Amino acid sequence: MVALLVVPSAVFSQGAADGLARVALVIGNGNYEGAARLNNPANDADDIGDMLSGLGFDVDVLTDADLYSMEDAVLRFRDRLAGSPDSVGFFYYAGHGVQSNGENYLIPVDARPNSESLLRTRAIPLQFVLDSLSEARNRLNIIVLDACRDNPFSWARSSARGLAVVGQLPPASIVVYSTSAGKVAQDGVGRNGVFTEELLKHLSTPGLDISEVLRRTGEGVQRKTEGIQIPAIYSQFFGFLQLAPGEGGSVAAGTGSGAVSGPESGSSLDYLPAFFDEAPMDAKRAIANAEELTWDGKWLSAWNILAAADPNDRDPYIFAEKIRTVLDGNTDTDMYQGFWIADMSADGDTDAAREAGTLNEEYFDFDVHAVAQTMLDRGVEAPPVLASALGDFYYRAYDYCGDSYVLSAEDTKAEALRWYDMANENYILVDLVSILHYAELLIDAGRAGDAITVLREESEWEPDDTDLHLQLVDAYVVTGETDSAFAELDGLIQRAASKDEARNYYSKALDIAFDQNDKQALNRYLAAMEADYPDDWLAGLARHKVAVSSGDNAGAQKIADDLLTKFPLHTEVLEGVLTDWLASPAGTDGGIAFLNRWIGKSKDDPLALGTFYLYRALYRYYSVESSTQSYLRKSSIQNALADLDSAEKMLAQASGADKTTVEAIQYIRKELQDALGQ
């Protein structure tokens, strides 16, 4: 049975002061026919519906809905949002929810799936809801799921508890789980479930940004359940939205798609980024107006708005936005103490616009380090959003300038880490690139365990990002957790989009196994590589490296010969085997023996003979480059010069010789002659 309540917009008690249409679909399923009954969802749905209607939403409330009613309501919800492109949508579901093979399903009250495979036809896939909202193309959607109770069906596997990590999010959306992915939510002991009870407390708080509403809700749930239940938030929304009006009855919303009022109006907060909600109103307006311009590449115009609003760099919030503007919008930098900023052309081709004389570009002295120190000396408390911006700035200054910056490279890294720490402690370090930089600095500072914590948390939000998982591999290696590192690499290999991508992960796994002297892992990856890539040389090089390092010279020579026979004159193969011998603690004789043998085999092939003479010249030099025995070094360089003459002669006769290689011989000869004269 379905109870359907439509609350028309005429009964809004507060109204949407931002002028954006607000549409909500609220579903609460508790009276199940084929699963455990739930006491709270119907009450939860009624109370959330009443709350949202009071906040200006046009609300559909369904309780104890069957499959058809839920599907029809979702499609109707989609169409209503699509009819108002600037609308804000709110989808709420309380009831049973299960996962199967990584997919999430919302369970209608009439569902009786007697096997897991029937979920697809007898339940509502969460991705169906998310895809429907993507099709609506409206301004913002908030999806709240108080649906992570334990799987109620007898066929459920014990490992498939709660809901899986959310799939493809609609653009400009926030998806909220009442508990973390894979965990189980608690029913309430009163009228409402634990999560919904907390959500109702904060939804109507005047002036709160939606991110703060959800943060307070999560904090309350975690505290009330003593950490057993921790809500999870997956967000693609970086704007500002107040559901309940603040002082003066104003409500702001923005997602960065479509202007509501232009930058000259001085009143629009549509483009205000997240984490600026504590800024003074004048600063908010300046930041929002500048942000709107940056969406069109008007970085210089954005800078001018910020500079006019705070010419003496006294406001920490505008300072944070200035930092972001020069980092993202500069066309050049003077060692990160001054920046050229431009309004970009429509095609974004800065060089072409500069050459044509149409680039609107200006230079500004902007010493971020000096401004930050002045603020701190004045006793200004840096807000978290400034801490995040300073972390990004000092990292970029370190990465770009090194010791050429006003601080040493080590001091610059320390500043970046200090500010990133502060941003992370305040839960606002959310940009993936910033998190990767932060993790790199943590590892470098000997805090790889902290890096693992940060990266694991981010992996729940970005489960498919390869850079994140690779950095997690590096952190695991540093802490000695090589099994975890290999598990991460195994996952990357399985998810690789191409064989070339998977090969890179195999290569990294082989390097780690070799460095850690993990013979079991090394043999496992070698066997897998040779099975999956029978015509590749990477596994052979790895086996050569093992043979050289273990002192098995005969084995190393045979592997090298086999590789070169199969991959004639292959540069990476040649350089790989020679590098192994150069690094050998037993000495470099193995490489010379290998090259001598192949020079002898190549008498009738000028191209091969010239190539091997060239490599022997380089090998002779590199093998004694750092030698303190001058007579040995001199003799080796003289022999290398003789090999170089032979290489030049042979390659001049070879029809297939690479022109750049022949030209490079002159440069190499000069380097050897200079070394001989030292």
Mean pLDDT of the chain: 85
Q: Write the DSSP string, 36-96.
A: ---SSHHHHHHHHHHHHHHTT-EEEEEES--HHHHHHHHHHHHHHHHT-TT-EEEEEEES-
What does pTM read for this prediction?
Answer: 0.60
Comparing 125-129, 355-359, 551-555, 639-643, the range with the smallest average pLDDT is 355-359
Residue 180 has pLDDT above 60, yes or no: no
Q: What percent of the chain has pLDDT over 90?
A: 56
- In degrees and rounded to multiples of 5, residue 365 shows phi and psi of -70, 125
pLDDT tens by residue, 298-324 = 999 999 999 999 999 999 999 999 999
Using one digit for the tens of pLDDT, what is the confidence trace for 471-486? 999 999 999 999 999 9
Average pLDDT rounded to a whole number, residues 233-252: 67
b vs e for 497-516, b when ≥16 Cβ sit within 10 Å of the residue's Cβ? eeeeebbbbbbbbbebbbee
Residue 250, exposed/middle/buried by CB under 10 A (0-12, 13-18, 19+)?
middle
Lookup: tokens for 605: 């092939």
DSSP 269: -
- CATH fold, domain 3-248, is Rossmann fold (3.40.50)
Q: How many CA atoms lie within 13 A of 622 on its CB side?
A: 20
The Cα 586–Cα 543 span in angstroms is 17
Residue 461 has pLDDT above 50, yes or no: yes
pLDDT tens digits for 359-375? 888 999 999 999 999 99
pLDDT in tens, 26-71: 999 989 886 778 888 999 999 999 999 989 999 999 999 999 999 9
Cα separation, 283 vs 288, in Å, equals 8
Distances in Å between the Cα of 507 and the Cα atoms of 75, 526, 544, 577, 669 are: 48, 10, 14, 15, 34
**Structural domain boundaries in the chain:** 3-248, 259-430
624-677 pLDDT, tens digit each: 876 667 777 888 899 999 999 999 999 988 887 788 888 889 889 998 888 887
pLDDT band at 282 (very low <50, low <70, confident <90, very high): confident
pLDDT digits (tens, 9 = 90+) for 150-165: 555 544 443 344 465 5
